[in-house]
Amino acid sequence: MNTGLTSFSNPGDIGPLYPFAGLEVPLVIIGVALWILFHVIATRDENREWEEADAAFDASILLPGSDEPPHMRG
Amino acid sequence: MTDLTDSLNVIFTEFYYWVTVVFMFLIHVGFATYEVGISRRKNIQHVLIKNVMVIPIVTVTFFFFGWWIYFAFVHGPFINNGMGLDAFADDFYPWSPLMGPHMGDRITGVFWAAFLLFSWTAASIISGAIIERVRTAAFLIMAFVMGSVLWIIDAAWGWSASGWMVQLMGYHDAYASGVIHAIAGGAALAVLVVIGPRIGKFGPNGEIRNIPPHNVWMACIGLVLIYTGFWGFYAACNIPIFDIGADGQPFYSATNIYLMPTTLSAITFNFLMSLSGGMLAGYILSKGKPYWTLSAGLAGIISASAGNDLYHPVQAMIIGGAGAAVAYKLHYYAERRFRIDDAVGAVAVHGYAGFFGVVIAGFMLWGYPAAAPIEGSAAPWFGVTPDGFPAINPIGNLIGAVIMFGVLGFAPFYVLARVLKAAGILRVPRRVELAGLDTNTTDSSYPYFSRTYTGFEDIEKQEGLALLSDDRPST
């Protein structure tokens, strides 16, 4: 069992150094899927975050003399 | 590799680009620092995370398709004499064995990384303009569209010896005034038009209100860090050793990206002189305001970058000063006339100065060889040199500047921003903007530098008083 190279004795004959050479296409497909999944999750989570923040809005921060949001006051 | 001279050349080149990548990281330290400095305290952590997430998003997408686009799209495709995708790009599909550790290739990884760092820059330029109201998820979509699609298309067209803009129009933009800066500035302007100003920036009668940054000197240090990283950017735009000899007589030199001669010394002269020209102009125009003086230094470099491989240092200084003045004046004109709220001046420093720089280079370098002609190319549109090379000229560079700023920058980003706005994911809700974008997710960024009360103080005081009591001398 080996995942790629078993000898470095003839470096001039070596091409790819990484394991599982030949499976680059499936690797790229997995990578692209993970990238798209990131955008989906990040967008969904952020939308939820802003909805919650919108609902939790406290108008007292707009009063004169209030310099920061309530959640930052400790 | 079995020949020592060849090996030294290859391994030196590999190390050269690797060093440029390390330097260019500082550009992004600078972007993050100055964006955070410019933002208000209630938005700091959102601004920071939005900016730094450019790094992973653009990196993976540049691996998946950006790098291939650079080689594949040099002819348009189908703009130069009907030539389609260039076959040379076949080695740069993401599944190519050369796009990974390979004993037969030591350059692809570092060259890819150098271009990748340019990609981060293009995306980060947009980031600063729209802080304090854009959503992170929307920005990250913009980041990969700019960093891994649009800018690399313009690089294929105008920043490659084989690019159709170079071959047909004699386009010359050695250190990316247009290729990076004008396109990103144009894109940022489009998003600003769609997203609108921050709440309260403009009064009911059109008066312009200053929104003070939370930390000016931090913003200024960020700009200086960008200067530092710019050294890597400039070096990465060169090929360190290339045989430019004719008729079989080798002559080794550094070249620009078009494989035309320059030297590291040349760009060192001109980088510093154009920076200085910009700072001198910025100091006078802004009446010594640190942020604008340093921004003008950046605008100075960007204004001269298109021709900094060949200018005389005093020319670079004058062009840098003039470009900085154009950027500064246009920033405030656009703010007054069109109510553009560009929080960091990115459209001015990158967009207007970059556009200016490309146009000026067309006049200053009129008649110089742009690149060696490639096989199969149509005849250049705006003149050739006595050697038959496409000649640099004002018309080619003017059209090129319009393509960079307008066609590949403003237009697609206007459409993209409209789509994101229609989907309801471009801007945060108004109440969130008022409360601050750090609302609900993070604590205050400066709990001890304000009137913020964290609750810890009670514990500290109680226990501290007890300690003082224990330490009190018994006398």
Could you tell me how many residues make up chain A?
74
The answer to whether position B463 is within a domain reads no
The answer to whether position B393 is within a domain reads yes
B453 vs A contacts (CB less than 8 Å): 73-74
Q: Percent of chain B at pLDDT above 90?
A: 86
pLDDT of residue B474: 46
* pLDDT band per the 50, 70, 90 thresholds, residue A74: very low
Of A17, A58, A72, the CB nearest to B452: A72
Question: B460 pLDDT exceeds 70?
Answer: no
CA distance A25 to chain B (A): 5
Q: Percent of chain B at pLDDT above 70?
A: 93
Of B99, B429, B439, the CB nearest to A69: B439
Q: Percent of chain A at pLDDT above 70?
A: 80
* pLDDT band per the 50, 70, 90 thresholds, residue B1: confident
Let me know: does B336 contact B310? Beta carbons within 8 Å.
Answer: no
A40 vs B contacts (CB less than 8 Å): none
pLDDT of residue B27: 97
Nearest residue in chain A measured CA to CA from B59 = A35
Residue B201's domain comprises 12-240+253-442
Question: Mean pLDDT over all residues of chain A?
Answer: 85
Nearest residue in chain B measured CA to CA from A45 = B137
pLDDT of residue B206: 81
pLDDT of residue B397: 98
| CB within 8 Å: A69 and B136 | no
d(C-alpha B352, C-alpha B324), whole Å: 9
Distances (CA, A) of B381 to B23, B155, B378, B390: 38, 20, 9, 8
| CB within 8 Å: A46 and B135 | yes
The distance of Cα B244 from the centroid of its chain, to the nearest Å, equals 29
Instruction: Return the axis-axis angle of helices B136-145 and B44-52, rounded to nearest 10°.
Output: 30
d(C-alpha B54, C-alpha B125), whole Å: 11
pLDDT of residue B376: 95
Per residue in B23-72, pLDDT (tens digit) is 999 999 999 999 999 999 889 999 999 999 999 999 999 999 999 999 99
HSE-CB of B394 using CA atoms within 13 angstroms: 4
pLDDT, greater one: B274 or B446: B274
CA distance A20 to chain B (A): 11
Nearest residue in chain B measured CA to CA from A23 = B95
Find the mean pLDDT for residues B225-238: 97
The answer to whether position B276 is within a domain reads yes
A72 vs B contacts (CB less than 8 Å): 42, 436, 438, 443-444, 447, 452
CATH no. for residue B162?
Answer: 1.10.3430.10
Nearest residue in chain B measured CA to CA from A51 = B429
Find the mean pLDDT for residues B147-170: 98
DSSP at B90? G
Per residue in B410-423, pLDDT (tens digit) is 999 999 999 999 99
DSSP at B433? H
Question: B464 pLDDT exceeds 80?
Answer: no
Of B100, B434, B441, the CB nearest to A18: B100
Per residue in B358-408, pLDDT (tens digit) is 999 999 999 999 999 999 999 999 999 999 999 999 999 999 999 999 999
Classified as helix, coil or strand, B332 is helix
Question: B446 pLDDT exceeds 90?
Answer: no
Of A25, A56, A62, the CB nearest to B440: A56
The answer to whether position B186 is within a domain reads yes
Per residue in B337-369, pLDDT (tens digit) is 999 999 999 999 999 999 999 999 999 999 999
| CB within 8 Å: B60 and A15 | no
With helix as H, strand as E and coil as C, how does B245-278 read? CCCCCCCEEEECCCCCECCHHHHHHHHHHHHHHH
Per residue in B258-269, pLDDT (tens digit) is 999 999 999 999
pLDDT, greater one: B155 or B430: B155
pLDDT of residue B325: 98
The answer to whether position B450 is within a domain reads no
Counted domains in chain B: 1
Report the sign of the C-alpha dihedral through residues B127, B35, B292, B303, in that order: negative
pLDDT of residue B434: 87
Closest among B355, B351, B367, B349 to B310, alpha carbons compared: B367
pLDDT of residue A30: 98
pLDDT of residue A1: 84
| CB within 8 Å: A50 and B428 | yes
pLDDT of residue A36: 98
pLDDT, greater one: B450 or B122: B122
DSSP state string for B174-229? TT-IIIIIIHHHHHHHHHHHHH-PPTTSB-TTS-B-----S-HHHHHHHHHHHHHH
The answer to whether position B326 is within a domain reads yes
CA distance A2 to chain B (A): 18
First-to-last alpha carbon distance for chain A, in angstroms, is: 59
* pLDDT band per the 50, 70, 90 thresholds, residue B330: very high
- Residues 6 or more apart whose CB falls under 8 angstroms from that of A68 comprise A61, B41, B42, B436, B444, B450, B451, B452
d(C-alpha A43, C-alpha B61), whole Å: 17
Nearest residue in chain A measured CA to CA from B433 = A54
Mutating which of B440, B452, B459 best tests the A interface, going by the most A Cβ atoms within 10 A?
A: B440
B77: cis peptide before it, omega within 30°?
Answer: yes
Of B94, B102, B104, the CB nearest to A28: B94
CA distance A35 to chain B (A): 8
The ipTM assigned to this model is: 0.90
Mutating which of A25, A61, A68 best tests the B interface, going by the most B Cβ atoms within 10 A?
A: A68
Find the mean pLDDT for residues B417-437: 94
Find the mean pLDDT for residues B193-203: 93
- Residues 6 or more apart whose CB falls under 8 angstroms from that of B414 comprise B190, B193, B194
Of B104, B136, B435, the CB nearest to A46: B136
The answer to whether position B17 is within a domain reads yes
Question: B454 pLDDT exceeds 90?
Answer: no
Burial B401-416 (b: 16+ CB within 10 A, else e): bbbbbbbbbbebbbeb
Nearest residue in chain A measured CA to CA from B443 = A72
Let me know: does B61 contact B144? Beta carbons within 8 Å.
Answer: yes
The answer to whether position B456 is within a domain reads no
A17 vs B contacts (CB less than 8 Å): 100-103
Mutating which of A13, A38, A72 best tests the B interface, going by the most B Cβ atoms within 10 A?
A: A72
Q: Enter the tokens of residue B454.
A: 């964290």
**A19 and B CB contact within 8 Å:** no
* pLDDT band per the 50, 70, 90 thresholds, residue A58: confident
CA dihedral B145, B149, B151, B156 (to 10 degrees): -170
Question: Mean pLDDT over all residues of chain B?
Answer: 94
Q: Enter the tokens of residue A53.
A: 């923040």
